[in-house]
Amino acid sequence: MYNQEIIEKLGPAFAEAFGEGGAAEAAYYFAPGRANLIGEHIDYNGGHVLPCSLTMGTYAAVRKRPDRVIRFFSLNFPGDGVVCSSLDDLRPLEDHSWTAYIKGVIWALGNRGIELDCGMDMVICGDLPDGAGLSSSASLEVLAGFVIGDLFDLPLAERELAVCCQEAERGYVGVDCGIMDQFACAAGREGCAMVLDTVSLDCRYVPLDFPEIGLVITNTNRKHDLRTSAYNERRQQCAEALEVVRRCGEAPELAERCAEAPEVVRRCGEFQALCDVTPAEFAAMESAFDDPVLLRRARHAIRENGRVRQAAEALKNGQIEALGKLMNESHRSLKEDFEVSCRELDILAETAQELPYVLGSRMMGGGFGGCTISLVRKDALDEFKKTLREVYREQTGIECTFYEASPGGGPAKLTMR
């Protein structure tokens, strides 16, 4: 399950970065990345999502220090060298290095009254491609939280760990993210997808074990960066769309335009999030939107939430073909209503959707680059890769990269051989 090649690199890298004697004292850890089957850009709209944790993820070798210094080295960013800081030098929203995700967790724990009594040395290495939409940042945050919990005897429950890591990304890194990525990385179950209510944080698991179907992630190799993308803009637009919905019950001119559904108008003020609205209710209030952009944003969030519920039921009943059709609908909505796709993602997803051995394909993650996720019959995996590689290279001049994913478990302390 774990990447032994990476694990075997950690000890020598730790010794080189921090001294020979330290490697023998280091403990080893893993935290997964995540793939989201369906339910994109609705975790901050009060909806349900359907992610799974992956067997791909982030690894660390860590030991305590006798002082308050914190030192980091990443095999993924060796050019950065050893990054040194201090527990007394945590600067929210000012730190833009990859170590901000770790220091953000330390900062978030401090906000909860959990103060570390000493620093640590940490070597990091992961097999999640950076900027591909597989939650490499959430994986690193969850890894940091899990390491600290174990190393300092401060065990965090899965839910608390996820919330703390979300707080780190929002308050320290500066990305106004939802809870899905951190929760999926913190609470995964092997062989399962997670149905997560992003408001109550209640979750249940449905089987994602179809021997004849492969889960293939295709990287556009066009990186995205949520700090510089339109992610925060989309979140603000959704908040504005919610205000339109809520005012349908207060503004006479809006109420008149929703007069064909008076029971919906009466409820409008009760909605706390876009995904509190059902698709049928939304159909009755669409005419209240003067701004076509806000209309499209709301339509995606509300209908996508409905698709997640249908997808969870399909998996529960073993109907993998139904999930595939919903994934196709999700991509169309993300492209046309939420406008977070891009040419590269569309080429990959739409080419895949036309292939007879593909059940469904869509963009995954924040958008504007990153990856698609596809359900592919395993006996056609080689043909799938060949076809997409050729089409994508011809139309973009870029080589795409494939990852055959498996649903894995949550973070873990590793036992070394």
Model pLDDT for residues 381-397, shown as the tens digit of each residue: 999 999 999 999 999 99
Both tokens assigned to 378 = 């395993």
148 lies in which domain range?
A: 4-208+407-414
- 178 inside domain: yes
Q: What CATH number corresponds to the domain at position 164?
A: 3.30.230.10
β-pairing, 120-126 with 83-86? unpaired
User: What mean pLDDT comes out for the span 262-267?
Assistant: 60
The pLDDT value given to residue 176: 79
369 contact partners, CB below 8 Å, separation of at least 6: 131, 133, 220, 222, 223, 224, 342, 344, 345
Q: Is the pLDDT of residue 268 over 90?
A: no
Max distance between CA atoms of the chain, in angstroms, equals 75
User: What mean pLDDT comes out for the span 115-135?
Assistant: 89
- The backbone torsions φ and ψ at residue 237, rounded to the nearest 5 degrees and listed phi first, read -65, -35
181 as an active site residue: the answer is yes
Query: How would residue 227 be classed by pLDDT, with cut points 50, 70 and 90?
Result: very low
Query: How would residue 207 be classed by pLDDT, with cut points 50, 70 and 90?
Result: very high
Q: Tell which phi-psi region holds residue 336, choosing left (phi > 0), alpha (psi between -120 and 50) or beta.
A: alpha
Both tokens assigned to 108 = 């978030």
Using CA atoms, how far apart are residues 108 and 110, in angstroms rounded to an integer? 5
- 313 inside domain: no
Distance in angstroms between the alpha carbons of the first and the last residue of the chain: 15
Using CA atoms, how far apart are residues 309 and 410, in angstroms rounded to an integer? 23
Which residues are 64's β-sheet partners? 120
CA atoms within 13 A on the CB side of 250: 9
pLDDT tens digit sequence for 345-360: 999 999 999 999 999 9
Q: What number of residues does the chain have? A: 417
The pLDDT value given to residue 365: 83
The percent of residues above 90 in pLDDT, for the chain, comes to 76
The pLDDT value given to residue 1: 79
Cα 31 to the center of its chain, rounded Å: 13
The pLDDT value given to residue 266: 59
Query: How would residue 254 be classed by pLDDT, with cut points 50, 70 and 90?
Result: low
**Quick check: 63 and 121 in contact, CB under 8 A?**
yes
Q: How many domains does the chain have?
A: 1
Angle 320-336/343-353 helices, nearest 10 degrees? 150
Beta strands in 261-381 (DSSP E): 358-364, 371-377
User: What mean pLDDT comes out for the span 139-160?
Assistant: 95
User: What mean pLDDT comes out for the span 246-251?
Assistant: 71
Cα 21 to the center of its chain, rounded Å: 37
- 199 inside domain: yes
Q: Which amino acid is at 176?
A: D
User: What mean pLDDT comes out for the span 52-67?
Assistant: 96
The pLDDT value given to residue 223: 66
The pLDDT value given to residue 414: 95
The pLDDT value given to residue 151: 95
Question: Looking at per-residue confidence, does 150 or 256 come out higher?
Answer: 150
**Between vectors from CA 296 to CA 295 and to CA 302, what angle results, nearest 5°?**
90
- 342 inside domain: no
Using CA atoms, how far apart are residues 238 and 243, in angstroms rounded to an integer? 9
Query: How would residue 263 be classed by pLDDT, with cut points 50, 70 and 90?
Result: low
The pLDDT value given to residue 200: 94
Question: Looking at per-residue confidence, does 173 or 21 come out higher?
Answer: 173
User: What mean pLDDT comes out for the span 109-117?
Assistant: 93
Active-site pick, 43, 121, 181, 337: 181
Lowest mean pLDDT among 177-181, 229-233, 273-277: 229-233
Averaged confidence pLDDT in the chain? 91
Q: Is the pLDDT of residue 260 over 70?
A: no
Both tokens assigned to 295 = 């209309």
- 196 inside domain: yes
Q: Is the pLDDT of residue 256 over 80?
A: no
Using CA atoms, how far apart are residues 239 and 237, in angstroms rounded to an integer? 5
User: What mean pLDDT comes out for the span 370-384?
Assistant: 96
pLDDT tens digit sequence for 39-53: 999 988 999 999 999
pLDDT tens digit sequence for 166-182: 999 999 999 878 899 99
**Quick check: 165 and 140 in contact, CB under 8 A?**
no
Q: Is the pLDDT of residue 242 over 60?
A: yes
- 12 inside domain: yes
Q: Is the pLDDT of residue 248 over 80?
A: no
pLDDT tens digit sequence for 283-341: 888 888 999 999 999 999 999 999 999 999 999 999 999 999 999 999 999 999 999 99
